[in-house]
Amino acid sequence: MPNPETASSGVVGREPFGSRLATAMAVRGPLCVGIDPHPALLKGWGLNDDVDGLRRFSLTALESVGSVAAAVKPQVALYERHGSAGMAVLEEVLAACTDAGVLSIADAKRGDIGSTMAAYADAWLRDGSSLAADSVTLSPYLGFESLRPALDLAVQYGRGVFVLALTSNPEGPSVQHVGAGDSVARRITEAAASENSRVAALSSTGTEAMAPAGTALGSVGLVVGATVGAAVEQLGLDLAAMAGPILAPGLGAQGATAADMRATFGAAYPQVLGTSSREILAAGPDAGNLREAALRTLDLLRID
């Protein structure tokens, strides 16, 4: 993967996240491994459900799969449950991702308004923050534009965001499907497409330091569950036109197969970053087994 600090397009000398992710997916394949230190997985690895177990689990997972995955996705809540010491481990993991040259997606699902949203953006996207990741997941349900501080800071620092659009939890449709042909999920998808188009246009005029117009992926992505099935078509979501990456959790233990994902995402499948957590992590703690599990999953995801 290219060194993000050597590119010339970003304000701070970093290639935009969408470009970096597109390169990683082309070179390594479209796999994101979730680093989810659930108590049951810690126990399965013979580790205590404490800060030491959290650190050993996280760093072993990263060291095992970091060279074969396009990205890794630490689940922030599972670090928060250990308090400040757990968050210190997360800081260590994010720094280790940078050292290993693997892109990080902080699965924090942050969303708020005004100065509070600006503070979240500062924590997860600003250079110099101990929690800065290459990208962060965001919740848009206070309105897509409430995310503006994070959208703008991501542009400034060459980082990215993944906005929740169509999730596979049973409660999701009660919000995301509302409006049918003009659903909440469709409006979020269109807003992400508009944001990627806006940034590309600014780049082409030199107004804003970004990747050239026409870059393979924009830096505003969506979270769309791998198990949503026909909902993408039923709600009329044009994911290919969104022109950003699609983070698709649910591969493996949650029920989705690579064939399911090809059917679900259709023309947008080349944008999809398939995400597997428990299916791969259950192969631990042996590093070789973890790597082999990741490679098996990756083989299924590759486009023939």
Give dist(CA 182, CA 206) in Å, integer. Answer: 34
Model confidence over 17-71: pLDDT tens digits?
999 999 999 999 999 999 999 999 999 999 999 999 999 999 999 999 999 999 9
* Whether residue 109 lies in the annotated active site: yes
Tens-digit pLDDT profile for the chain (304 aa)? 433 333 334 455 789 999 999 999 999 999 999 999 999 999 999 999 999 999 999 999 999 999 999 999 999 999 999 999 999 999 999 999 999 999 999 999 999 999 999 999 999 999 999 999 999 999 999 999 999 999 999 999 999 999 999 999 999 999 999 999 999 999 999 999 999 999 998 876 654 444 433 447 999 999 999 999 999 999 999 999 999 999 999 887 677 888 889 999 999 999 999 999 999 999 999 999 999 999 999 998 986 5
pLDDT of residue 302: 85
φ, ψ for residue 174 (rounded to 5)? -65, -20
Report which secondary-structure segment, H or E, holds 162. Answer: strand 160-166
In the chain, the domains with their CATH numbers are 17-301 (3.20.20.70)
pLDDT for the residue 303: 65
Question: Can you point out the beta strands (E) in 46-123?
Answer: 71-74, 103-110
Q: How far is CA 71 from CA 10, 28, 97, 102, 182, in A?
A: 20, 10, 9, 6, 32
Catalytic one among 38, 109, 198, 296?
A: 109
User: Residue 9: what pLDDT?
Assistant: 41
Q: Would you state the pLDDT for residue 208?
A: 45
d(CA 20, CA 71): 10
CB 159 within 8 A of CB 97: no
DSSP string, 252-271: STTSB-HHHHHHHHGGGGGG
